[in-house]
Homo-oligomer: A and B are copies of this chain.
Amino acid sequence: MTSNTIDTLLDSHQQAHTEDLIEWLRIPSVSSDPKAKKEVREAGQWVADLLRNAGLQTEWIETQGHPLVYATTPPVPGAPVALVYGHYDVQPPEPLDLWDSPAFEPDIRDGNIYARGATDDKGQVLTHVQAVLRLLETGQPLPLQIKFLIEGEEEVGSENLERMLPELADKLACDVVVISDSSQFAPGQPAITYGLRGITTFELKVFGPSQDLHSGSFGGAVMNPGIALSKLIASMINDDGQIQLPGFYDDVQPLTDEERQQFASLPFEDAEFARSLGVAKLAGEKGYTTLERKWARPTFDVNGLTCGHQGPGAKTIIPATASAKLSFRLVPNQDPQKIAEALEAHVAQHTPVGVTTKITPDHGAPGMVANLKSPFIAAAQTALEAAFGKPPVLIREGGSIPIVQKFQETLGADCLLLGWGLNDDNAHSPNEKFCLADYHRGIKASAHLWQQIGSLNQNR
């Protein structure tokens, strides 16, 4: 099929493609919420049905947590195999009162669709499903075999998928993994993301007196857990934004001069970026540009703090406990396990007298950098240019897709991270959105990509 035939075909389905997305976004599949188990399965079932009804051989793979949806088109002898990976689970919608329209009642405003999961990741993974379905409907055989793996635990660390990956290796065997769960560099400027940061998250809990104490009768006699927690957190990062855990930077794979030059060549304005985030000034590790800090340098963040009295008015107590949710973003070659040990050591060394601490690791994954020499990158460059009318730039992304590095390891396949989203899509925030034009461009880019990879192969 020519590029034009494909575009015309897809344009004629825009309305239906949007309606499908709205339907999927209505399902509140919050994987971290134990009470949402049913809704999470429902969201998986929805996309499984879509694939099955289109004739793909579809499987519902149970895990110890939320199920995996697997589907495949027929094998094409001698042709490459592509695996599309995405997730049907979403982040919690809280704080609810900051949403302009309810998180699970998709609302279209100014060409954007607003809902939790719109861009992360239902909207993006659905582009590949739609593209494959339309191509199949033409009755012509696909020039390659396409497999789908859509999971329900990406937002909670993909631990079950990771665990099962070795036994699923044969089923998932492929030449290239295609993932759309990231962003364009700028509106209308597509990008191929060749690097991701890793992550490791923890809960740090501080234990003081056996119960809350009157701060008058007991203040001055015992260590205050809220103060102890604050001192521990403060000790983890200095005023230059450098993380103080022992050996934290030892394994960091430094940016190459080429990369730093390439990043510097991208159109990016600190002042404008700060404005877009609502801060007067950006901040972070000394000696690095903003793009370097957010894409390719490790970071430390407090994700939450809980301690003592949080209601209205004053309650003059020494709280019995204090806890923090902590996350570290890692770069390629940093080992989450080593970071966990460094945190243990740092906390043990800095815990004030009079309190005890407990660290509970949540999930971790190393960062990755894709092989820039992969022929599939060239294919993607052609496909994205065809759909977006502009050649893509090569970028890295600060977020983590823990499973990607595992795919590289277990399947020995190249990974293409093709993001259709935008940096201001509010993934993980209130008013998450996805630009509908990008949704439809993503579907086109996906369709072109399959053609490109197919032809690529014929030239092998």
Interface positions of A (Cβ within 8 A of B): 32-34, 91-92, 94-95, 98, 156-157, 183, 197, 199, 201, 208-227, 229-231, 233-235, 237, 239, 241, 273, 277-285, 290, 293-294, 297, 299-319, 322, 324-325, 327, 329, 352-356, 362-363, 397-400, 423, 426-431
Q: List 26 A-B contacts (CB under 8 A).
A: A32-B312, A33-B312, A95-B212, A183-B217, A211-B278, A211-B429, A212-B429, A214-B399, A216-B329, A220-B285, A220-B294, A220-B398, A221-B282, A221-B290, A222-B277, A224-B300, A225-B302, A226-B301, A229-B305, A301-B318, A304-B319, A305-B305, A305-B322, A315-B325, A316-B327, A317-B428
Which listed residue, B156, B362, B397, B429, touches A216 by the CB 8 Å rule? B397
Chain B residue contacts of A397, Cβ below 8 A: 216-217
On whether the beta carbons of A307 and B308 are closer than 8 Å, the reply is no
In addition to A223-B283, A279-B354, 17 A-B residue pairs with Cβ atoms within 8 Å of each other are A32-B313, A92-B315, A95-B212, A199-B216, A209-B279, A211-B278, A213-B428, A220-B398, A222-B279, A223-B279, A227-B234, A230-B230, A302-B307, A302-B319, A303-B314, A304-B309, A317-B428
Chain B residue contacts of A217, Cβ below 8 A: 183, 294, 397-399, 423, 427
Q: Which of A98, A227, A284, A308 has the most CB of B within 10 A?
A: A227
CA distance A281 to B293 in the complex (A): 41
CA distance A222 to B270 in the complex (A): 11
On whether the beta carbons of A227 and B302 are closer than 8 Å, the reply is yes
Closest to A212 in B: B429
On whether the beta carbons of A215 and B305 are closer than 8 Å, the reply is no
Which listed residue, B197, B233, B282, touches A354 by the CB 8 Å rule? B282
The copy count of this chain in the complex is: 2
Which listed residue, B156, B214, B310, B314, touches A201 by the CB 8 Å rule? B314
On whether the beta carbons of B322 and A214 are closer than 8 Å, the reply is no
CA distance A286 to B309 in the complex (A): 28
CA distance A327 to B314 in the complex (A): 9
Closest to A30 in B: B313
Closest to A239 in B: B352
CA distance A284 to B208 in the complex (A): 13
CA distance A143 to B400 in the complex (A): 80
**Nearest CB on B from A308, distance (A):** 4
